[in-house]
Amino acid sequence: MGERTGETIMRAEIAESISVTARLVADRRRFEAIGEALAARRPTVLVVAGRGTSDHAAIYARYLLEHALGVPVALAAASLLTQYGIESASPQSALLAFSQSGAGPDMIALVESARRRGALTVALTNDADSGLAAAAEITAYLDAGPERAVAATKTYLAELVSVALIAAAAARALGRDASWATEIDSLADRMGGAHEGAGAWVAAAADRPVFTSLVAANRALVVGRGFEYPNALELALKLRETTGTFADGYSAADLLHGPIASAGGDVPAILLSTDSATSVSINTAHERLRSAGSPVLLMCTAARATGASASPEDSLMIPDGPSGPLSAPVTAIAGLTLVESIATRRGKNPDAPEGLAKITKTL
């Protein structure tokens, strides 16, 4: 199939996420109130829940809210409630449920159960009139505008930004470290730079082996660590959805516990390297993947590129800025831009992948 030309809805919605981010940051007070409510409740455990893309946003929340609150954060096992009838929430717990549509029966059931049992419940959704919003005690409205492409992009980015705003406020309310959030006002600009840079890299990469290997691949790996791990999962999902490539997302640590055996010349990898805290782990994964023969695209900041052994042609540069939590939305917008380009180069329509619907309801 030949290359697909013309602007896609997915591409336009990725670009829209920059203004969505600016709007969320400008309207931060409503998210800060949620963070302060979490801090005031002082839950002994926080549970996060989501499906698909929203599950990956929930995993980002798992990392960042544990950092901000200093309490364990766990992923909900919805089937324990919906398939086995087991309820586990308590007044000492809190639940954050993520659903772009707010229509997922399993997420609604989790929130209803947790609220009935006295837990603080928060819904993060792009539909303020949804069933999930009605079920929760507090709603964090993403305000991303209608999303028409089947593959969620701007709502995923809105979820990440909303979590960062909530976590920063919770940390400050508890007197914990929130220094990572000091440059949140410049986040939209940094995301804009990442989006533009990724577009320019793709435009220049038409015949580069690392890009053509991703376009042609039947299988691929996406690898991150820490705050970039949710992005590894999400970009792998987007590759599966929009290109048909069977892509797997891994933590750089988990990759070495077996999956590295699947690496090789016909299995390209995307490596997310923006966080100085995870540099040793990421560099080890990079070396192992290259030794196995996998073509590796390194998505990194200039500061991180100096510690990696990738050529400029194999490096998609991310704008420098604060390392850690706020790197995640910046890397994500660049990665989504890359995936959309791979899909169209492959001749696919990323706006309406075969067999997928915009809203999926599971119980």
Closest-CA residue to 109 (of 140, 132, 139, 133): 132
Cα 356 from Cα 290, distance rounded (Å): 34
Percent of the chain with pLDDT over 70: 95
Rounded Cα distance between 341 and 332, Å, is 14
pTM of the full structure: 0.95
How far apart, in Å, are the Cα atoms of 102 and each of 147, 188, 231? 13, 25, 22
More confident residue, 150 or 313: 150
User: What CATH architecture is 185-345?
Assistant: 3-Layer(aba) Sandwich (3.40)
Phi, psi of 95 (to 5 degrees): -130, 130
Kindly indicate the confidence band of residue 357, based on its pLDDT and cuts at 50, 70 and 90: low
**CATH code of domain 9-182:** 3.40.50.10490
Domain 9-182 matches domain 185-345 at the CATH topology level: yes
**Contact at 8 Å (CB) between 6 and 345?**
no
- CA–CA separation, 40 and 17 (whole Å): 31
**pLDDT digit string, tens, across residues 303-348:** 666 555 667 789 999 998 777 899 999 999 999 999 999 999 999 9
The first and second tokens of residue 231, run together, are 């992005």
pLDDT bin (cut points 50, 70, 90) of residue 360 is: confident
Alpha carbons 363 and 361: distance in angstroms, whole number: 7
pLDDT in tens, 56-111: 999 999 999 999 999 999 999 999 999 999 999 999 999 999 999 999 999 999 99
Domain edges within the chain: 9-182, 185-345
Identify the three-state secondary structure at position 251.
strand
How far is CA 27 from its chain centroid?
21
Tell me the pairing of strands 315-318 and 296-301: parallel
Burial of 240 (0-12, 13-18, 19+ CB in 10 A): middle
Longest dimension (CA), the chain: 58
Note the helical H segments in the chain.
Answer: 9-26, 29-41, 53-69, 78-82, 105-116, 131-135, 154-173, 187-204, 209-216, 229-243, 252-255, 279-291, 302-305, 327-345
Sheet containing strand 45-49, strands side by side: 73-75, 45-49, 93-98, 120-125, 138-141
Burial class (CB in 10 A: 0-12, 13-18, 19+), 73: buried
Please tell me which residue, 301 or 188, carries the higher pLDDT value: 188
Amino acid at the residue 311: S
Residue 2: count of CB within 10 angstroms of its CB: 7
Kind and range of the H or E run holding 228? none
